[in-house]
Each structure stands twice: as C-alpha cells, then as structure tokens.
Amino acid sequence: MPYIPHTEKDRVRLLKAVGAGNIDDLIAVPENARLKGELKLPKGLTEQELTRALKEKAARNSTVEDYSSFLGAGAYNHYIPAVVDSIISRSEFYTSYTPYQPEISQGTLQAIFEYQTIVCQLTGMDVANASLYDGASAVAEAALMARRITGRDKVLLSAALHPEYRETVRSYLHGAGNHVSEVMYCTEAGVTLPAALDSALDSDTACLVIQYPNFFGSIEDLKSLAEKAHAQGALLVAVTNEAVSFGLLASPGSLGADIAVGDNQSFGNTLSYGGPYLGFMATKTKFIRQMPGRIVGETVDIDGKRAFCLTFSTREQHIRRERATSNICTNHGLCALAASVHMVSLGEAGLRRLALLNLSKAEYLKKALANISGVEVAFSSPTFNEFTIKISKDPEGVLKGLLKKKVMGGLNIKRFYPALDKHILVAVTEMNTKDEMDSFAEALSKVLG
C-alpha cells in the first residue's frame, strides 16, 4: 500500500484528540536548543571519493589480522569456514526477520528449526528458541523466566559470571524490584564459593546463575551447584559464552541445569566490533510456555508432507502484547543460520577435535607463561581455552608494552574486579599458532623483566 500523508483536516482532528494546539506543542526540545538554519555539512562526495575516504578511515583500525590476539572474555577469534558466508549470503536467507507466513517461508523456518535442534543437542535440553540478541540478554531473559516459573523474586548471580552479563541482568530486573544478589567466588580456585552460596540460597530464591566455564576460565562443578539450588526449590541457569567448550564438557542439561543460555558467537560469527552476536536459550519441555522468543515447530501440510511453522505464539508480543513473556521479537536469524552452517560443517567429531585443539593450545600457553618469572596461574581449577594469570607489575603498562610488540596480551580485569589488580584474562583458540604463543611468552618475559 502506498504511503498516504495526513491531510490538514486529519492533523487538526489528531491534535484536538490529544489536546494540543499545534505540532510544536508535541515537541519537548527547548526552543534555544533547536537548530536554526541548515546544518553546516561538507560538500557531498561521489561514490568513488566516498569509497576512498572510507578505506582511509578503515585503515586506521587495528584488527586480529594485524596482531597476535589473546583476547576473549565473551568475544572469541575462531576460524569461520568459507561455506558459511557462501550460504548465508544467498538472497533467500539474507534477512534476520522471523517470517510470519509459513506457506512462503519454509526454507527460513527449516533453517531456524535445525538451529534449535543443534542447540538442544549441545546443551542437553529438550527445547530451544530461535535465538536472542546476545549472551547478556539471554541471561537476563533466563532470570525473568525463572521468576515466572517459581513465583519467586530473588536472583542469585555468581560473582564469577561475566561482569557485563551481571549488569545487564540488573538493568532488566530494575523495574521488577531488582532482587539481585551476588555470590562471592573462591579466591584460590576461581569458582563460586560453596560457603557463600549455602548462606545465600533460601526459599525466596528463583534461580542461581552460573557461568560454565566462568569468566575467569575456571570450570564450575555444575552438578553440585544444581543439587544445592534444587534443594531450595530454585532453578539453575547455566551460562556458556564460549560455545566451542560444548565439544568437550558435559552438557548443562546432563548436569542438572534447568535453563541453558549463552552466546553462540564462536560459531560462524565474526568479532565484528562486539556485535551482532547470537544469544541462545534452551530449557526443559515443562518450561516451554515461559520461554521467550520465537519457536519454530515441525508439522505437516494439507498434503501430509513435513512442514514448519511458528509455534507457541500465544507467549509472544504480536498476540499477548504487554502480557507476553518478553519484549523480544525479531531474532538474529542470519547469525543463527551462520552458526548452524558452521556447526554442521564441523559435525560432532569435528567439534570435538576443535575443542581439543583449543584446550591443548591453551594448556601449552598456560605452562609457558607460568614458567616466566613474575607470572603465576591465578586459580587452581581446570580450564578450557581461557585462563587468568597474575603478574608482578601493573597489567595496564604490561599490556601496552605487549601491544608495541604486536601482541594483544589479554584483558586487564581490574576494572571489573578491583581486588584483582594484577590479573590478566588470556584466551587461546585454534587461530593462535605455536610461534605466536612462543612470541607472546617471550614478549611478556621481556616486558616484565
């Protein structure tokens, strides 16, 4: 339908209905703050000139192609097979919007259905949604979901959960009373402190949120934590933001988690300045009506052939409006497709080999760094492809020194944990070669020396 502007008569009726005399009455910007005249913009550029100007600006950026990167903390530099871009760039797929008309969207719906199936296989859960914005929003949605399921308000977050995820949960729950508490981590093991958890868990707790592996890279004892949560009638939310770990670690569902969430950026999605990423959520069948986000289900068409459609839609905004389980609507379908293509191209055996490669490389670097004078591994718990080191000097200066040697040496976590003022979080993936790791160790030794 072509755009039809309001007539003058329409505008008079609309203004009268809201009690305004004119359009200016609807504008809250003070008169002295409004632009007078035209914007002082430079002369327009031709396409060729614009392309050159943008390339010059882009050349000022530094990327993981220019440095040896050991940064992680929720954004991981993994190799993306060429088949991923080849498939997702097809015009039939190149949109993130969830289709409402199944009769003309079977291909897209099947792709989402297959993604959900893969997420269930990885997490050990029964059902998954079509995706969420990112790991942080997925955790916040899981906390709200747990509150609806249990009828309780209190949300317990491990202090070893990603700090930005914790902030997102607090933001989401702010309007709902913000009954959020944190459970301290063990300073020796780098995992959630059992004694602190025992005193925090009670009959008012809706859920316990644990990262697996956690922010420090340490692998939590998810099974015992689930048992503690369930003993108080609370749910366990397991958070994984390095999804390659699923290739080796026991699935959250098999260890007693009730809701599994996190970020699938590691599969098929580039670092890309921090987004868009790919939040995932999976849970048990009995909780499906409280799970937010789109769900694609399998059915049959009028001829009895296999078909796909959006299901359990009565949970969602376009039907329940303000009573919906969440205000999330359009999912990251293109990111989910990229992850699906990547995971399918790996297969079960390939994912396991990739996970083993990440683990072995991380262990190699961990030992190499631990042999340097002034460096020690900060925590005693086992890790996957990320670990925390403690150094003898201020991390900020050390990391700047490493940058001069073309090494992104990890993340200074002091801004998140002031008490850990000599600690660096280091991540290793299949993209880091032995030469790069040896050079990192050598450079760190020189900077500290």
Burial track 72-108 (b if 16+ CB lie within 10 A, e otherwise)? bbbbbbbebeeebeebbeeeebeeeebbeebeebbeb
pLDDT surpassing 60 at residue 90: yes
The tens digit of pLDDT for each residue in 159-173 reads 999 999 999 999 999
Q: How far apart are CA 275 and CA 54, in angstroms?
A: 20
- Residues with Cβ within 8 Å of residue 294, at least 6 apart in sequence: 98, 112, 129, 130, 131, 310, 316, 331
- Token readout for 432 is 């880091």
Taking only the tens place, the pLDDT of each residue in 366-411 is 999 999 999 999 999 999 999 999 999 999 999 999 999 999 999 9
Q: Distance (Å, rounded) from C-alpha 293 to C-alpha 290?
A: 10
Asked whether the beta carbons of 291 and 283 are under 8 A apart, the reply is yes
DSSP string, 4-27: -PPPHHHHHHHHHHHT-SSGGGG-
pLDDT in tens, 260-288: 999 999 999 999 988 899 999 999 999 99
% of the chain surpassing 90 pLDDT: 80
- pTM here is 0.89
- Model confidence at 47: pLDDT above 90: yes
CB 398 within 8 A of CB 327: no
Has residue 416 got a pLDDT over 70?
A: yes
Residue 3: both structure tokens together: 């755009």
User: Which region holds residue 31: left if phi is over 0, alpha if psi is between -120 and 50, else beta?
Assistant: alpha
| Mean pLDDT for all residues in the chain | 94
DSSP string, 356-418: HHHHHHHHHHHHHHHTSTTEEES--S-BSSEEEEEESS-HHHHHHHHHHTTEE--EEGGGT-T
| Residues whose CB is less than 8 angstroms from the CB of residue 112 and which lie 6 or more positions away in sequence, other chains included | 98, 130, 131, 294, 296, 308, 331, 333, 336, 337
Of 393, 389, 430, the residue nearest 413 (C-alpha): 389
pLDDT band at 34 (very low <50, low <70, confident <90, very high): confident
For tokens 């937010």, the residue is 292
pLDDT classification of 97: cutoffs 50, 70, 90: low
CB of 240 within 8 A of CB of 246? yes
Q: Is the pLDDT of residue 194 over 70?
A: yes
281-306 pLDDT, tens digit per residue, is 999 999 999 999 889 999 998 899 99
Angle between helices 333-370 and 434-448 in degrees, nearest 10: 60
Contact assessment for residue 216 and residue 188, using Cβ atoms and an 8 Å cutoff:
no
**Average pLDDT score over residue span 170-197:** 93
Cα dihedral value 253, 254, 255, 257, nearest 10? 10
First to last CA, the chain: 71
Q: Which domains does the chain have, with CATH numbers?
A: 68-80+347-448 (3.90.1150.10), 82-342 (3.40.640.10)
CB 399 within 8 Å of CB 412: yes
Rounded to an integer, what distance in angstroms lies between the CA atom of residue 281 and that of residue 417? 28
The pLDDT, as a whole number, for residue 1 is 45
215's tokens:
């922010």
Tell me the per-residue pLDDT of 325-369, one tens digit each, with 9 for 90 and over. Answer: 777 776 788 999 999 999 999 999 999 999 999 999 999 999 999
Model pLDDT, residue 103: 73
pLDDT tier at 53, thresholds 50, 70, 90: very high
